[in-house]
Structure 1
């Protein structure tokens, strides 16, 4: 980009995505009309959301609220001036480059927006549980690394998400395992451990009730939302191990 000083905006595109024909003009017009905005993105949809419940989860994930956003995904249009002022993407990250970029942009006074426009399609191509599990592990790794790098300045949504999966995927399961051992001598019945599963059931019911809709696989989506906390917690442990052993992070592929 340093060789092309006349470029005002850049469109980033992941290799598994296709940009809608009208998107570039809409996004460029929005950036031109809003000089304080560094990054703009629209509605990204899955190419084949009905091929699997995992693709459906991804389609839901892309549908973030309209208006000013905390961060974008890999598909977005960026103002070159803002992008270069913070050094662009951090190429050492295996995932979560966009939230990292957006955090640095916001620290410089820029904003990030989601607008009501069709931006493109994404081909997750997640047809098996093991693919989805690896993707969730990678997400947990990225969340944890983001918090470690930025500490108290981390994105609020990523703080909340990390706290949730660490509690449900690590802290509570650890308590479930240790509680019978610690309290058995005090009259704790081993069968009482089953009661410790009730919070997971309540979580499942809450997510299922919130996601109910015609033709929506709400039960499976709710189950995966609960199970995913364990995969994300595993990703956090992988990052912790990488940090302690001073190893270089390796890309976690799921396709």
Structure 2
């Protein structure tokens, strides 16, 4: 059987506009089963998917949206209509699959029976349009080739292994891939990163407020996933949570509170933040990244502990008050697909 018959694709999205069009066009070949899961789009996304022969699943609007919930729904529909599928490629609607990735990932799974997930390198489509996009482009390349502990949202999974662990945890609002990775490894599966570009991502971050929201979401994800898998021996994100509480909350508040009693000397501890940024910049530069990549990445790492602290505090409050976990969005909607077609004349 060809890879088009053994590999199925699940795309998820909400108001991704032209990004979704690029995403679908990168995986639709007329043979490969593709399912698109929509979370309440109003920009013509569902129509664009149907026009390409893609099966569309509309999530129930009365329940909270999460990427995990959408992926599970897509996988269920994929297995219903194409039970022969052995591997499933998940992809977000703001990504497009790189040429040759589906074949390379399927071959890796064919050759390694114990491997249950294969990831590659995600790259940014427009890294030079903003320093925030450049930060994402560096972040995607911080892993290593070979066996790894986790993957991102653009991963190819062995369908049987995914089903055996019950799929994604639909209540996790972010870092759902890290959470799933833990359970797959606990079920004796291994995760492999191969040296191949997997997807081209469009972060589309141009404002400081977007960067802040994204980092806040990261802090929330640390706290939520740690609450599930923070116990030994996994201790998932425990170190990140401790760092966030210490440097994002206790140290800055303590330094300010002690100012009257130390003649301002307590504020010297705040020098740790620019030093962390500088150390990260130099370390990233040594790894072969340019100064234009290393500087925004280092500054982001030095400052992100503050929005992450807001995310950790928000999760803690939601948990104590038994509030529903809801996604933290940092992107705005794209231009409606119908308008894009009129503008470009397609």
Above 0.5 in TM-score?
yes
1:230 pairs with 2:306: yes
> Which position in structure 2 is the counterpart of 1:245?
321
Deviations 1:28-73 (A, max 9, x none): 0100110001100111100011111111111111111111111100
- Count of residue pairs brought into register by the alignment: 249
> Which position in structure 2 is the counterpart of 1:200?
273
> Which position in structure 2 is the counterpart of 1:6?
84
1:156 is displaced (CA, Å) by 5.5
> Which position in structure 1 is the counterpart of 2:256?
177
CA contact (8 A) 1:141 1:236 kept: yes
1:82 is displaced (CA, Å) by 0.4
* Stretches of 4+ aligned residues off by more than 6 angstroms: none
Q: 2:174 aligns with which of 79, 89, 95?
A: 95
CA distance in 1, matches of 2:308, 2:318: 15
Task: Mark the runs of 5 or more structure 1 residues left unpaired by the alignment.
Answer: none
CA contact (8 A) 1:48 1:123 kept: yes
CA contact (8 A) 1:136 1:231 kept: yes
What is the root-mean-square deviation of aligned Cα atoms in Å? Answer: 1.7
Deviations 1:177-203 (A, max 9, x none): 33336xx2xxx32x2133222222321
Q: 2:157 aligns with which of 78, 84, 89?
A: 78
Deviations 1:123-182 (A, max 9, x none): 00001110010000001000110111122158566333333222221121132133336x
Greater RCO (CA < 8 Å, at least 6 residues apart): 1
1:134 pairs with 2:210: no
> Which position in structure 2 is the counterpart of 1:110?
189
CA distance in 2, matches of 1:228, 1:67: 28
Q: Which range moves more in the overlay, 70-79 or 60-69?
A: 60-69
Task: Mark the runs of 5 or more structure 2 residues left unpaired by the alignment.
Answer: 1-77, 332-346
Q: Secondary structure at the match of 1:135?
A: helix
CA contact (8 A) 2:226 2:236 kept: no
Q: 1:167 aligns with which of 246, 270, 275?
A: 246
Q: Secondary structure at the match of 1:13?
A: strand
